[in-house]
Structure 1
Amino acid sequence: MATSAVPASITGSIPRHVAIIMDGNGRWAKKRLLPRIAGHKQGVEAVRRVSRAARVMGIEVLTLYAFSSENWRRPAEEVSDLMGLLRRFLKREVEELISENVRLKVIGGWQALPADLVEMIREVMARTASNTGPMLVIALNYGSQAEIVAATRRLAERVAAGELTADRIDEAMFESELATHDLPPLDLMIRTSGEQRLSNFLLWQAAYAELLFVDALWPDFNAETLADAIDQFGRRQRRFGGL
């Protein structure tokens, strides 16, 4: 249960929507001469503590990049391990999500995951659908370029069917076709492990988000690291193209 107060180190505004590219599980394990699965297990623990900390800090939406559409290229054993960790996470967290009034949303091509996992995701989303508090969004089998292409295709089909004229398509209409259409605009994108790229994550949504690249490996990320990131966000001047 989340019981702490907002850290005193946070002096500026709190972002409504924070997204995190959770990177560095493998390197965390390698540094400790452990198998990669050990890093992924610790990464799941980081998800639990960071999602709790985000709720305490008043973040409305936390979006986590858990499994990209490119991650299928990893060894089959590692992919299987990741799916197993996801199953355990959902089983372990569902009651807390309900009690904490958190709504779970999953974006990406998650319907292509193993059938039992798809049913589990559907069940957890259904059980938390009426919750009115913070949202935890998990991106599974997600790729932003594919999301943008799919949105474009749906609009093109409407034009071809005569339901829509091309000159009516604007940014708002396009955004309404994205998986994040019901979320507040993305304010802050964090990537762990020192890498400085977006890796096909929320490319459209990140147009005016603040970007923050931190050296901490994901399994080491915690409430204090998140508080520091939020404090840095609060000290930035967001102009959105203006002066």
Structure 2
Amino acid sequence: MTIFDLEPVARQSTAELIADRLRVAIMRGNLTAGSQLGEADLAAKFQVSRGPVREAMQRLVSEGLLNSVRHRGIFVIELTIDDIEDVYHSRAAIERGALERVLEGRRDVTAAALSSAVEAMRDAADRGDIPAVSDADQQFHETLVQSSGSARLVRAARTLLIETRMCLGALQSTYADIHEQVTEHDQLREAIADGPPERAFKLLADHMDDAVTRLREQQAAEASAEAGPEAGPEAGPEAGPEAGG
């Protein structure tokens, strides 16, 4: 074999490394929704030229994590409740596809892999560490998709899971006891291990639907609180007939 027969070793470019760090910062809320990103500032922080930063930002624009506004700049996306509902419905389709493959012959290894995420979630819940619960929640669903053995499902789920992680803290605040969420994931893990397939599919679908319902109710409550007394009866007749539409 000559040297020309060898495949080059894959290495991440500077732009890829920067894109990875930006994804994590967005996911964890270090770069808050709606915040503007500047090439010069990021280049200084990463100690690189502006070229790789520009390329990294364009990657995240194409992935939907950043939004480019003409003549204004590039901003971290802000998720509306409709966006969140769309994310969860898309995730439900992808994760159901992953679950189908898992149930075809990958049950034991998947259940074992999911156990570590459930235990991490339980430990975090015992400590009252909400960010760590969010991390373990994401780990659970990443593991489920990865266990399907489908690179395409993994790619399709990546941005959706990052978008989900952006609002997991808000979701978990809707639980009276965060251990309820641990129980939901553990029940799904048990169903994947040796339960009827129909139960696993139902638990996954219910989990996604419940998340959307909780987030919708939370947003409605926050909107009502922000409106305050002005949204009540004293708002006058103009708030009447059209308000219920």
TM-score range, shorter chain: under 0.3
Question: Where is the strand percentage greater, Structure 1 or Structure 2?
Answer: 1
TM-score, normalised relative to structure 1: 0.25
Question: Where is the helix percentage greater, Structure 1 or Structure 2?
Answer: 2
Q: Which has the higher contact order (CA 8 A, sep 6+)?
A: 1
